[in-house]
Amino acid sequence: MSFTLAIVGRPNVGKSTLFNRLVGRKLALVDDQPGVTRDLREGPAKLGPLRFTVIDTAGLEVATDESLQGRMRRLTERAVDMADVCLFMIDARAGVLPADEIFADILRKRAKHVILAANKAEGRAGAGGLIEAYALGLGEPIGLSAEHGEGMSDLLAQLQPLAGEFEARAEESAPVMDIDVDEEGETDGDAPFAPTPERPLQVAVVGRPNAGKSTLINKILGEERLLTGPEAGITRDAISLAIDWNGTPFRIFDTAGMRKKARVQEKLEKMSVSDGLRAVKFAEVVVVLLDVEIPFEQQDLRIADLAEREGRAVVIAVNKWDLEDEKQDKLRELKESFERLLPQLRGAPLVTVSAKTGRGLERLHDAILRAHEVWNRRVSTAQLNRWLVGMLEQHPPPAPGGRRIKMRYATQVKTRPPAFVIMTSHPDAVPESYSRYLVNGLRADFDMPGTPIRLYLRDQG
Ligand code: GDP
Ligand code: GDP
């Protein structure tokens, strides 16, 4: 079970440097070019025995420009909300500056756990700043040198007990009994899933370069809104755009815009793959946009698989359908490839569109809505247990080494994506193929196509 660490703090304190050290690759750019990393970036991190996800909020500028500052604030807040732990970084050499106070404020209000770090603390120059950091009231600061790798064991020492806590909590969240179940086994208290202006449906459009992401998003938005406006320069590398699409509030993650910028700057081009990955993390529904001329390329498969593993609802959209003459044959061929290459996404909607002409956008809209609805589906405990009895009768679990496996009770523990627990004797002895049988059964019998389904077998003791 892993957790998410967000590195926050004002520009130039060394966030990207630490990010790079934790991720072990040059995923974040260390760069003083303004605007280059004015965004969230994330990657898989490793520190001693710990594995976790790290988010870098590099380049969050506390600028004089009102709207920019607002944007940055929102971005920090988003990172803070996404994270289990925030590493708040100050520059030990510069001491605590007024800008640091702004971040400290956000963290005090919103963060679940804060680790305070004074970076650039190598040598003696950082001693003063380290002491000043105490005054922030965010606990005992650790002295770091992201550049030289000093203080990493102190960081580990602070993270480790938290990591243990997250693990324990993840264990707890699977069993069951704390869920409100009424007579019919209906649960309540779940937030309604229909998108509202306050909770727009979060969509990422991902796909290979030239699949038509920009064209599609432009078509959805209406050209003008994406390309112009008072904040055009910022909008192009903004991480998301809020729109009303056929009466549904949406927030669309514009990975294409980020890449367009990358075209201009050679160096950034190489980083663009991570944009798509990042967008997947933010999204509820991921639209994998394929080019009908070269569908299901490695890169498409990778990102679709990632979306599944991240538990996102997926819609496959085949673009440039206007170029296709043999539409019936092609569609059959596409569906066949889809089932063969992405079995983990069985039943996910596959729609054909032309971003250029706008044909099929209605279908795409509806497919996204439906995928979102399925992703939020809640099955009653009563129904589930009737279903479980049927499944066990139809095809009893094997008895490996003569040990009979009993499954007694099933319940849904969460949605988004749907996750189920079945209380089981010898859960470790249940073969993968039997779990798959159950998952496929859940999918078919409760009409949950395309959404990732999580199934946990818990020892009933
Ligand atoms: P960010 O804007 O917070 O992401 O900061 P960067 O990671 O881009 O670092 C800003 C500058 O501080 C770069 O020139 C880094 O080389 C430098 N820097 C980062 N970490 C350290 C450190 O531990 N010690 C020193 N002396 N400089 C550092
Ligand atoms: P991105 O890299 O994924 O953002 O792709 P773009 O939106 O820049 O599109 C790449 C190229 O494909 C451009 O030349 C578009 O005009 C073209 N294109 C995009 N969508 C369609 C479509 O539906 N039909 C056709 N024929 N061309 C398209």
Hey, whose CA ends up nearest to atom 12 of ligand 1? 14
Per residue in 59-82, pLDDT (tens digit) is 444 444 545 566 667 777 878 877
SS3 content of the chain, % helix, strand, coil (to 5): 40, 20, 40
Tens digit of each residue's pLDDT (9 = 90 or more) over 120-163: 988 877 777 777 888 787 888 899 999 998 899 889 989 988 88
Q: Which residue has the higher pLDDT, 43 or 205?
A: 205
Q: Residues annotated in the binding site, as ranges?
A: 9-16, 56-60, 119-122, 207-214, 254-258, 319-322
Q: What is the pLDDT of residues 273-312, one digit of tens each?
A: 455 666 777 788 999 999 999 999 888 888 888 888 888 9
pTM above 0.80, yes or no: no
381-397 confidence digits (pLDDT tens): 889 999 999 999 999 99
Which ranges of 255-355 does DSSP label H, i.e. alpha helix? Answer: 255-264, 266-269, 272-282, 298-309, 327-341
Closest among 45, 58, 47 to 4, alpha carbons compared: 45
> Atom 10, ligand 2: which residue's CA is nearest?
210
More confident residue, 166 or 274: 166
- Residue 53 CA to residue 36 CA, distance in Å, equals 21
Burial class, 45, CB count within 10 angstroms (exposed 0-12 / middle 13-18 / buried 19+): buried
Share of the chain above pLDDT 70, in %: 77
ipTM exceeding 0.90?
no
DSSP one-letter code for 210:
T
pLDDT at 4: 87
pLDDT of residue 14: 92
pLDDT in tens, 228-255: 333 333 333 435 677 888 888 888 876 6
How many A from CA of 178 to the centre of ligand 2?
A: 50
Taking only the tens place, the pLDDT of each residue in 411-439 is 888 888 898 989 898 888 899 899 999 99
Q: What is the mean pLDDT of the chain?
A: 78
> Quick one: 428 exposed, middle or buried, by C-beta within 10 A (0-12, 13-18, 19+)?
exposed
User: What pLDDT is stored for residue 71 in this prediction?
Assistant: 61
Q: Using CA positions, which residue lies closest to atom 15 of ligand 1?
A: 14
- pLDDT given at position 40: 65
Name the residue with the closest Cα to ligand 1, atom 24. 120
Q: Which residues line ligand 2 (CB under 6 A)?
A: 207, 209-215, 256, 319-320, 322-323, 354-356
- C-alpha 160 – ligand 1 centre gap (Å): 25
> What mean pLDDT comes out for the span 392-409?
88
Say what the pLDDT of residue 88 is. Answer: 95
Q: 16 and 110 in contact (C-beta within 8 Å)?
A: no
pLDDT at 461: 58
